[in-house]
């Protein structure tokens, strides 16, 4: 099974991540991972931190001569901003303790975390609760993405809403154009209005959220399972996306919209098999690529909503953790809008889940063993009674 763990604080020395379960023999280099980290740092409305950091994941173990070894892959993403925080984030006690953060921010992990972990300094919570941690996730996701790319899977994301402005892209999405868009949007007119919404929020000392759609092409039929609740692919994808900072809702396929329709309008008609190499095609993909907790052979399509960032330059009224008195919430350098970056993080989390389910299905300690298992399985995917096993 593929799994990963991250460690590190927002203003600490860096972020570390260990990815375990990647088969041996997978071509992997730091440049591939760096390209995904760079995508996470882009986007209109990002704050000053992105001007400081130039994220680079240094591979510490698990790769030799450009190929994975089948052993745990360890990576380190250094925080350049650590230079400015060495006293505040010192691992050893300093002569003069740093000033405690006690002004709670509504919408952040500050209050619940301080209560749960018995902290009187909110920095002990906010440093790990920060979305900076997602840089490590993107590094891990890049490994999973590289693995799944060997089997034809392709990952994309685009922003469909920012600050109440909805995109209405026409026809097939031009992914190259999306990558060039400051807000990662496929609709040029909506792009302009989204940027205006971000500018207006910044001027008001406020923040804006939005909605992102992740699409994964060439997902084979049969990943996940219907037999237990914790093996269902749609449940795993939803949990992974909900774990991203500020994500408050997940919709697979037409999701919430389908609740308003009749069954005849909702379900994806299965087409006759005319091409044995591409069986089980559908006339539509309203289900978003999953049925019964398993991938159905169509593209995976998932949308998720990102709430506005909790840290405001014009802070909301709040309460001081130490005194219980009314204060203005703490302000720490922050973005105005993180929605475009959320799409890259969503791609990473989807890749990690799909890689886990892929290896659960096909196994293999070496990439070529996994490939043989995958190829053999795909030969059986088709109408029964034509030579396939039952």
**Closest Cα to residue 299, out of 184, 221, 212?**
221
Q: Is residue 142 part of a domain?
A: yes
Q: How many distinct structural domains can be found in the chain?
A: 1
> What pLDDT was estimated at residue 49?
54
Q: Which residue has the tokens 């069954």?
A: 263
Mean pLDDT of the chain: 94
Q: Is residue 258 part of a domain?
A: yes
Q: Is residue 386 part of a domain?
A: no
pLDDT confidence bin for 390, thresholds 50/70/90 = very low
Q: Is residue 100 part of a domain?
A: yes
> What pLDDT was estimated at residue 276?
84
Q: Is residue 387 part of a domain?
A: no
Query: 318-365: per-residue pLDDT in tens?
Result: 999 999 999 999 888 778 999 999 999 999 999 999 999 999 999 999
Query: 291-307: per-residue pLDDT in tens?
Result: 999 999 999 999 999 99
Rounded distance, CA 18 to CA 77, Å? 12
Paired residues of 310 in beta bridges: none
Q: For residue 41, what is the enclosing H or E element?
A: helix 30-41
> What pLDDT was estimated at residue 51?
57
Q: Is residue 388 part of a domain?
A: no
Q: What is the pTM of this model?
A: 0.94
| DSSP H helical ranges for 159-223 | 175-180, 188-203
Query: 252-276: per-residue pLDDT in tens?
Result: 999 999 999 999 999 999 999 988 8
21, 55, 141, 210, 318 from 245: Cα distances, Å: 25, 19, 16, 13, 21
164, 169, 241, 286, 386 from 185: Cα distances, Å: 14, 9, 20, 21, 45
**Closest Cα to residue 319, out of 166, 173, 106?**
106
Q: Is residue 18 part of a domain?
A: yes
Query: 164-222: per-residue pLDDT in tens?
Result: 999 999 889 999 999 999 999 999 999 999 999 999 999 999 999 999 999 999 999 99
Please give the residue range of the domain that contains residue 226: 3-380
Kindly report the CATH number assigned to the domain that includes residue 348: 3.60.150.10
Rounded distance, CA 247 to CA 242, Å? 5
Q: Is residue 385 part of a domain?
A: no
């Amino acid at each position: 099974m593929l799994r990963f763990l991250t460690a590190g604080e927002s203003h600490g020395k860096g972020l570390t991540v260990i990815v375990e379960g990647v088969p041996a023999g997978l071509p992997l280099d730091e440049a591939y991972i760096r390209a995904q980290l760079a995508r996470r740092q882009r986007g209109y409305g990002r704050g000053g931190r992105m001007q400081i950091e130039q994220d680079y994941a240094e591979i510490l173990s698990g790769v030799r001569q450009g190929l994975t070894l089948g052993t745990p892959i360890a990576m380190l993403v250094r925080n350049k901003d650590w230079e400015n925080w060495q006293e505040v984030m010192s691992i050893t006690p300093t002569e003069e303790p740093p000033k405690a953060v006690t002004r709670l921010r509504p919408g952040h992990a500050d209050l619940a975390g301080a209560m749960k972990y018995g902290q009187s300094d909110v920095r002990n919570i906010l440093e790990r609760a920060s979305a900076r941690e997602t840089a490590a996730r993107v590094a891990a996701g890049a490994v999973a993405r590289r693995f799944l790319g060997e089997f034809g899977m392709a990952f994309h994301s685009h922003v469909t809403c920012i600050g109440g402005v909805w995109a209405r892209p026409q026809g097939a999405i031009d992914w190259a154009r999306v990558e060039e868009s400051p807000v990662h949007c496929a609709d040029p007119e909506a792009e302009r209005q989204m940027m205006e919404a971000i500018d207006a929020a910044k001027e008001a000392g406020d923040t804006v959220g939005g909605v992102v759609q992740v699409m994964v092409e060439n997902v084979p039929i049969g990943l996940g399972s219907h037999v237990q609740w914790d093996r269902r692919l749609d449940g795993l994808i939803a949990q992974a996306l909900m774990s991203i900072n500020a994500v408050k809702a997940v919709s697979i396929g037409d999701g919430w919209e389908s609740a308003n329709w009749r069954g005849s309008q909702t379900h994806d008609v299965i087409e006759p098999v005319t091409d044995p190499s591409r069986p089980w095609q559908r006339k539509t993909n309203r289900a978003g690529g999953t049925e019964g907790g398993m991938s159905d052979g169509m593209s995976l399509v998932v949308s998720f909503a990102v709430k506005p960032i909790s840290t405001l330059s014009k802070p909301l009224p709040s309460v001081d953790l130490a005194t219980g008195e009314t204060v203005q919430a703490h302000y720490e350098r922050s973005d105005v809008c993180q929605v475009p970056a959320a799409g890259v993080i969503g791609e990473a989390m989807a890749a990690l889940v799909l890689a886990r389910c892929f290896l659960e299905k096909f196994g293999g300690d070496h990439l070529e063993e996994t490939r043989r298992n995958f190829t053999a399985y795909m030969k059986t995917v088709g109408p029964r009674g034509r030579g396939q096993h039952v």
